[in-house]
Amino acid sequence: MARPNKKQADKKKTEAALYKALEDFGLKEKYYEDQVSEYMKYYSNLDTINEKLSVNLDIDLLKEKRQVTKEMRSILAFLGLKPAESGGGGFEEL
């Protein structure tokens, strides 16, 4: 089996970090796991949008990207997570 590329590895790290945060917060209900699954779908969609935008700037794709990132932030907020303000790319709680 082929070794995962950087994007796949980053995706797995993100998903693992989200599940770890759920565990740390004691959120064991299936509903919260479903939220992580939904977040990861948006993560994949965002990756696809970014790839398309790197080839061709499209206003509709930019609008879609904005909406996807808004939904992703909403899920993180619901789970009690928020991006680090230092710009380090991680989560404050993680």
Domain positions in the chain: 28-75
Token pair 């404050």: residue? 92
Q: Residue 6 pLDDT more than 50?
A: yes
Helix axes 59-78, 30-55, angle to 10 degrees: 160
Q: What is the DSSP letter of 83?
A: B
pTM of the model: 0.80
User: For the chain, give me the number of helices (H) and strands (E)?
Assistant: 3, 0
User: Which pLDDT tens digit goes with each residue over 30-78?
Assistant: 999 999 999 999 999 999 999 999 999 999 999 999 999 999 999 999 9
pLDDT category at 93 given cuts 50, 70, 90 is: very low
| CA pair distance 76, 82, nearest whole angstrom | 6
pLDDT at 10 over 90: yes
Query: Who's near 53: CB < 8 A, 6+ residues apart?
Result: 61, 62, 65
